[in-house]
Amino acid sequence: MYTIKSYQFAQSLDEACELLQKDSKNAVLGGCCWLKMGHKKIRTAIDLSRLDLSYITEGDGKIYIGATTTLRELETSPLLQKRFGGILPQCVHNIVGVQFRNMATVGASVFSRYGFSDIITALLALDTSVELHLGGVMPLEEFIALPPQRDILKQLIIADDGRTAAYQSMRNTATDFPVLAVAAGCLEDDWKISVGARPACAALAVNAAKLLSQGASAEQAAEAAAKELTFGDNLRASAEYRRLLAEVLVKRAVQQCREEA
């Protein structure tokens, strides 16, 4: 059980960040779905819900998703259903259940960089940046390589570039964490292949993407992706099983992308 000593509705992101920096025991709250699984003793809980950060909007050739947007809002967004082969709504569909997805937030999901993250896997196959209140705007790929930060994720910014995309995951049971997750994104010759739940955090298969840009088959790219990335064991699957699965899921995602294009 987690405990909270004092609770504050932040009036601005500046105030929220100042509170966060003031004491290592202060914490920002998202939907609290992950926090309540742990035993954190929070001195001041910082609630962002009055900062108008729940939105999915488009403008200037970009799509903006605010930090407190819930996974369910992502899943049911008419805008996102029409973009990138609908991979953002699809990738959250198996996360626990509707009530859960009505609580869990996009900002916490990305900021926490969970290895099993379906959302990071899908976002990485698109041209995605994160905007941190202190750290500013940076590509998602750069953000996930950084050490943990005392900062607040304000929004995601995705290039609305007409990329076709496909998402694949394998789970032992329908709503369990993924054993492996794969996303492919393609804009003309520019490919991105992302593999998550390895069980480490999602990573791009750069060689596989390069091969695809040069006209390689889905099978060749899948083989390259399985070779270039590292995989590990956990209670859900062995590294070897994940490597075999990667070959199958990458192949399917690339084929699906090509069919849609």
Ligand X SMILES: Cc1cc2nc3c(=O)[nH]c(=O)nc-3n(C[C@H](O)[C@H](O)[C@H](O)COP(=O)(O)OP(=O)(O)OC[C@H]3O[C@@H](n4cnc5c(N)ncnc54)[C@H](O)[C@@H]3O)c2cc1C
Residue 112 binding ligand X, by CB under 6 A: yes
**In angstroms, what is the minimal distance from the CB of 46 to ligand X?**
8
Q: Which range touches ligand X (CB under 6 A), out of 25-33, 122-130, 159-167, 232-240?
A: 25-33
- 29 interacts with ligand X by CB under 6 A: yes
| Positions 177 through 216 that interact with ligand X (CB under 6 A) | 177-178
Identity of the residue numbered 76: T
Exactly one of 10, 51, 80, 108 binds ligand X (CB under 6 A); which one? 108
Helix count (H) and strand count (E) of the chain? 11, 12
Among 35, 126, 208, 225, binds ligand X (CB under 6 A): 35
If the CB atoms of residues 96 and 187 are measured against ligand X, the closer one turns out to be 96
Q: What gap in Å lies between CA 68 and CA 29, rounded to an integer?
A: 9
Q: Which of 13, 96, 134, 144 binds ligand X (CB under 6 A)?
A: 96
Residues 69-88, interacting with ligand X (CB under 6 A)? 71
CB 164 within 8 A of CB 85: yes
Rule CB under 6 A: choose which of 64, 84, 116, 143 binds ligand X: 116
CB of 97 or CB of 162, closer to ligand X: 97
Contacts of 125 (CB under 8 A, 6+ apart): 87, 165, 167, 183, 184, 185, 192, 193, 194
DSSP secondary structure string for all residues of 195-256:
EE-SSSSPEE-HHHHHHHHTT--HHHHHHHHHHHS----BTTB-HHHHHHHHHHHHHHHHHH
With 0-12 / 13-18 / 19 or more C-beta atoms within 10 angstroms meaning exposed / middle / buried, residue 234 is: middle
Residue that is written with structure tokens 């009530």 in the block: 99
Shortest CB 139 distance to ligand X, Å = 17
254 binds ligand X (CB under 6 A): no
The single residue among 63, 95, 211, 225 that binds ligand X, judged by CB under 6 A, is 95
* Nearest CA among 92, 121, 88, 122 for reference residue 31: 92
**Residue nearest ligand X by beta-carbon distance:** 30
Contacts with ligand X by CB under 6 A lie at: 27-35, 37, 67, 71, 95-96, 104-105, 107-109, 111-112, 114, 116-119, 152-153, 177-178
